[in-house]
Chains A and B, each alone.
Chain A
C-alpha cells in the first residue's frame, strides 16, 4: 500500500465523515480511526514480515453515507412504499392477500395496494425474490420509503 493510497483514504474518510476504516490488501493490514472534527491519524499499518499471504480478504470500506442517513450496508432486502397512504394487503376486504410469506415474486407482481386520496394504487414488487416477512399491518398508514416486506 502506497502513501498516496493512504492519503486518498484519509481524504475520503474526512469527506464522508467516516470514523473507522479497515482494509487487508496487497499483503498489508491497514486500520484507521478518527474522531469527527479532527484530522485522521493513520495508525497501525502492519506489513507482514515474510512470505506473501494468500489472497487477502478485502474488507470493503463502509459505504459512503448519503447526506441524511449514515446507514451501514443494508442487512436485508426490502420492498419499500413508493407512496404515502393507507396500505392494504388485498384488493378488497373479502379477497385473499396479494402475497403471503413464502410466495415468490418477480418485478411485476402486485404485492399490495396503497390508497391515497381515494385512489387505489397497485404496488408492484419491482424486485425478484421470496417474501420473508410482512412489515406493515393491513390498513396501516405508510410513508414514502417505508419498508413493506422483507424479500430474499
Chain B
C-alpha cells in the first residue's frame, strides 16, 4: 500500500490532523500538512514530514482554498488527500477537483457525496431501499399550500429543513398552523443565504428523540460493514458533548436492525470509505434515518475503542484500493466506551468560546484512557476555528467501569489559562439519569435548567 499512497496531504488542522498524521506514520506513509499562519505553532505542523503555509488565519483564506491546497499537493507530489472533518471534507466539488488532478480523495466519491448531501434526495434513496425514514413529505415543498397540506397530514409538531443544509442548520420547528407560514418563509430565506439553495422539505418532529448513529466502513468492491452504534444524545443546541458505545438504551434486537439498516443505506448510496448513518429513535423504539455524514467524525474513537479497528488506517487502506480486512462477523463489540469532548468554552457564560493561551495542560492517563488532542502547555487556542481542546475516550469492560474511569480521568485533566467545558462534563457524568443510562436529546437542556434552579428533591449524586 505504501507504493500507492506514498505521501498523503492532510487538509485540516487541530486534533484530527494529528490523528491522520499518526495513522500515516504507522503505515510508513509520508505526510504533508497545510496550515494557516495562525497554526504555525500547531502540533500537526511539528509532526508532519512537510508543512506548507497556505494563507492567513481566516479559514476562507486558507483551509477552504481548494486551489491552494491542490497547489501544495502538486508541489509536494502527494498521492492522496485526507480532508479530516469539517472544512472541505464534504465538499463534492473538492473531491471532484482531486479526482481531476489525479489525486486520491480519502473519502467517498463526489457522486455519493452529492447524493447524500442533498437531504431530500437522501431521504428518497433511503425510502426506496427500505430504510425507515422520519415520516415526512416526499421531496421539496412546492409552495405554501403544500406546506399547509403536509403539516396537517403529518400532524404537529413538524420540522422544516433546508435540502442543502445539514448538521443542525437551516431548520424551523413548527407547533401549529398559526406559525407555519412564517416559519416556512424564514427557513427559505435563511437556507437561501446560508446554502445558496432555498429548497425545503418537511418531516414529523420527534420530541426529544435519542440520537443513535452507526459507523460504517465500505471498500471500493461493494463490501460494507458496520461497527456498532454510538449514542450521541448528550447534545447542547445540536452540538454533541459526549458520545458512548454501545447505546445504554438500545434493546439488542433493535441493535441488529439498526446495524443492518445502516449497511443497507450505505449500499443504496454507493458509499465508500468511512461514514456514519444518523438515526433518531423515539420513545417507542421506532428508529428513522435522519442523515448520513460522509466523512470521518469527531467521535470515531468511540467505535475504535469497542471494536479495536483503526478507522483512519482503514480509510487509508480503502483509498489505496484494498479490500476490507474485516467481514461483519469479525466485528465484535467489546466492553463499553465513552468520549468526552473538552471544549474551550465557559459553561458559566452560556458556553461562550474561550480562546487564549493554555498555560498548563496535563492530560489524563492510565489504563482505559485515550486522549486525542493537539494541545500542549503554552499553546494558544486561536479564535478562528472550533473550540475543541481535545477528546478524552475511556474504555471499560462494561458501562459501570467506563463511568468509573471517566469520573476518575475527568478529575485528572488540567487545563489552565482558558475556560473549559470540564466542569459541565463532570456534572453530566455525576447525574443519575445519565449514569442510569436513561437520557435523550432533551437531557442537557433539562440538566442545565436543574443546575440553574436547584430543588430540594433533585439529589444529583
Could you tell me which residues of chain A, from 49 to 67, have a CB within 8 Å of some CB in chain B? Answer: 67
Cα A68 to Cα B385 with chains together (Å): 14
On chain B, the residues within 8 Å of A143 by CB distance are 52-54, 72
Is B55 part of the contact surface with A, judged by Cβ < 8 Å? Answer: yes
Is B67 a contact of A144 with CB atoms below 8 Å? no
- Interchain pairs with CB closer than 8 A, number: 57
Q: A68-B382, A146-B53 are in contact. Are A116 and B71 (CB under 8 A)?
A: yes
Q: How distant is the Cα of A37 from the Cα of B377 in the complex, in angstroms?
A: 11
In the bound complex, how far is the Cα of B52 from the Cα of A121, in angstroms? 19
Q: What's the Cα separation between A37 and B359 when bound, in Å?
A: 7
Known A36-B359, A68-B382, A116-B71: A84·B40 in contact at CB below 8 Å: no
B239 to chain A, nearest CB (A): 24
Task: Give B52-84 as 1s and 0s: 1 = Cβ < 8 Å from A's Cβ atoms.
Answer: 111110000010000110111011100000000
A119 to chain B, nearest CB (A): 8
**Given A84-B75, A85-B75, A86-B75, are A144 and B70 also a contact pair (CB < 8 Å)?**
no
Given contacts A37-B360, A84-B68, A146-B53, contact A67 B75 (CB under 8 A): no
Does B67 contact A69, Cβ atoms closer than 8 Å? no
Q: A84 near B359 (CB under 8 angstroms)?
A: no
Q: Which of B334-359 contact A (CB under 8 A)?
A: 357, 359
Partner of A67, one of B62, B76, B380: B380
Residue B38 at the A interface, CB < 8 A?
Answer: yes
Asked if B37 and A117 sit within 8 Å, CB to CB, the answer is no
CB contacts (< 8 Å) of B380 on chain A: these are 67-68
Q: Would you give the shortest CB distance from B244 to chain A, in whole angstroms?
A: 34
Instruction: Please tell me if A17 contacts chain B, counting CB pairs below 8 Å.
Output: yes
- Once the chains are docked, how many angstroms separate the CA of A145 from the CA of B378? 24
Asked if A83 CB lies within 8 Å of chain B CBs, one says yes
Q: With both chains docked as a complex, state the minimum distance between the C-beta of B211 and any C-beta of chain A, in angstroms.
A: 35
Whether the Cβ atoms of B55 and A144 lie closer than 8 Å is yes
- Cβ of B56: which chain A residues have Cβ within 8 Å of it? 144-145
Query: Contact: B40 with A68, CB < 8 Å?
Result: yes
A102 close to B (CB within 8 Å): no
Q: How far is the CA of A111 from the CA of B75 in the complex (A)?
A: 21
> Does B28 belong to the interface (CB within 8 Å)?
no
A141 within 8 A of B: yes
For B72, what are the chain A residues with a Cβ–Cβ distance below 8 Å? 84, 143
A123–B6 Cα gap in the complex (Å)?
33
- Known A-B contacts A17-B357, A141-B75; A68 and B67 likewise in contact (beta carbons under 8 Å): no
B310 at the interface (CB under 8 A from A): no
Give the Cβ gap from A11 to chain B, nearest Cβ, in Å.
14
Q: Which of A85, A117, A143, A144 has the most CB of B within 10 A?
A: A144
Whether the pair A84, B54 counts as a contact (CB closer than 8 A) is yes
Cα of A29 to Cα of B76 in the assembled complex, Å: 53
Given known pairs A37-B360, A143-B52, the reply for A117 and B70 (CB within 8 Å) is yes
Does B71 lie within 8 Å of A117, measured CB to CB? Answer: yes
Which residues of chain A have C-beta atoms less than 8 A from B55's C-beta?
Answer: 144
Q: Which residues of B contact A69 (CB under 8 A)?
A: 37, 40-41
Q: Whole-angstrom distance between the alpha carbons of A38 and B26 in the complex? A: 40
* B282 sits at the interface (CB 8 A): no
Question: Which B residues are in CB contact (< 8 Å) with A37?
Answer: 359-360
Contact present for A68 and B38 (CB under 8 Å): yes
CA–CA, A17 and B377, complex, Å: 13
For A86, the chain B residues whose CB sits under 8 A away are 75
Chain A 15-56 residues near chain B, CB threshold 8 A: 17, 36-37
Q: B382: which A residues are within 8 A, CB to CB?
A: 67-68
Which residues of B are found within 8 Å of A84, using beta-carbon distances?
52-54, 68, 71-72, 75
> Are B360 and A116 closer than 8 Å at their CB atoms?
no
> Does B68 lie within 8 Å of A116, measured CB to CB?
yes
B111 proximal to A (CB < 8 A): no
Which residues of the partner chain B approach A116 to less than 8 Å between Cβ atoms?
A: 67-68, 71
By a CB distance below 8 angstroms, the chain B residues around A85 are: 71, 75
Q: How far is it, in angstroms, between the C-alpha of A36 and the C-alpha of B75 when the chains are bound?
A: 40
Distance in angstroms between the alpha carbons of A143 and B35 in the assembled complex: 10
Residue of A nearest to B66 (CB): A117
Contact of B401 with A by CB under 8 A: no
Q: Which residues of B contact A36 (CB under 8 A)?
A: 359, 378
Mask: chain A, 4-17; 1 = CB below 8 Å from B; 0 = not:
00000000000001
What separation, in Å, do the CA atoms of A86 and B75 have in the docked complex? 8
Q: Which residues of B contact A (CB under 8 A)?
A: 37-41, 52-56, 62, 67-68, 70-72, 74-76, 357, 359-360, 378, 380, 382-383
Instruction: Identify 13 residue pairs between A and B in the complex whose beta-carbon atoms are under 8 Å apart, listed by A's number.
Output: A36-B378, A37-B360, A68-B37, A69-B41, A84-B54, A117-B70, A141-B75, A143-B52, A143-B53, A144-B37, A144-B55, A144-B56, A145-B53
4 further A-B pairs in the complex, CB-CB below 8 A; given A84-B52, A143-B52, A145-B56:
A36-B359, A69-B40, A117-B67, A144-B56
